[in-house]
Structure 1
Amino acid sequence: MKTNLIKSLALGGLLAAGPLYAAEYAIDTEGAHASVNFRANHLGFSWVTGRLEKFDGSFNYDAADPNSASVSITIEAASVNTNQAERDKHLRSDEFLDAATYPEITFVSTSYKTNGDGSGVLKGDLSLHGVTKPVTINVTRVGEGDDPWGGYRAGFQGTAELKLKEFGINYNLGPAAETIYLDLNIEGVRK
């Protein structure tokens, strides 16, 4: 009887522990532990870098089944910041992001495939400038674990390559700037 009770408690403990691995995480934008950055080549001489400062989202992640991961992010297009006011105004205009007409940029994942080494490929639909296209993001898991404030966190880094013309942005920046690189640093707090 005592053995059966111990086995029942152990099995119950395992079943209860299962959902602890699969969890939804809120992206930590409040603590500024996440960022959406971009870079574009400037005339083949250097890089213009910037960030999209206002965004929100969440992701689901299960270390035991990483292929079930999913992500959803919404970004305010007008929050573009390259640390140069005139350029930022131009990027918000109808020649680029047209933030007045298309105030949100969204990404919703459709699949994730792990490489088995902490990296993987995240696929999803990016809506930018009124156009929705599939994109691929190469992802690396940075780490996960307990934080000093009693929460549990997981973090990932990813990079995507975007062709602006595919999203209806036809401003000619020259051939060196046809591809924009989107760099994501995402840290989430388990809900």
Structure 2
Amino acid sequence: MIVSSHPFPLSNPLDVQPPGIRWAELRQDVLNTLVRNAPGEEPRMLDLSAMLTRPAILRRLAATLAERLPPATERLVAPSAAGVTLVAAVALESGLPFCLLTPADGVFGDLFPGEPVVLVTAVTATGSAVSATASALISRGARVLTVLTALDTNLGAAERLGAQGLDYIACIRTEEV
């Protein structure tokens, strides 16, 4: 069993697989979501809905992201309603609570001043939306430990978030697929 520093130990069948095998299977799952226009044609884009609606992919993705959570994490945050599927899966995997940041209503769920949180997102590109969400969390008193993304499209998010002083962890980068 993988030893977790979180209060809720991981305990699912994926735990018995070595991390290298889990990573290889996740990478292959992501490769299988590449959209092609014709047989033999170069892939054009990832099918995000396939990554977030297929249980086998979502489960591997959640397990991989949960392994990368900083030990001090007390809450996960979804930056929008579109991110609820992924953050809920990571919450179930890690045993951590989560909340949703909404543009209209603010916070759906609990968020306490000084609470160490991790912002979980499916895909980052330039990082502008994630950066704005992190700023909103900080203005609400949260302590953003890191931004954790499933897929970095390599369009500047790491640089933007780094300039903001935020730790940034990408599970998969487009150059890896």
- TM-score normalized by structure 1? 0.27
- TM-score normalized by structure 2? 0.28
Q: Which of the pair is proportionally richer in strand?
A: 1
Q: Which of the pair is proportionally richer in helix?
A: 2
Q: Larger radius of gyration, structure 1 or 2?
A: 1
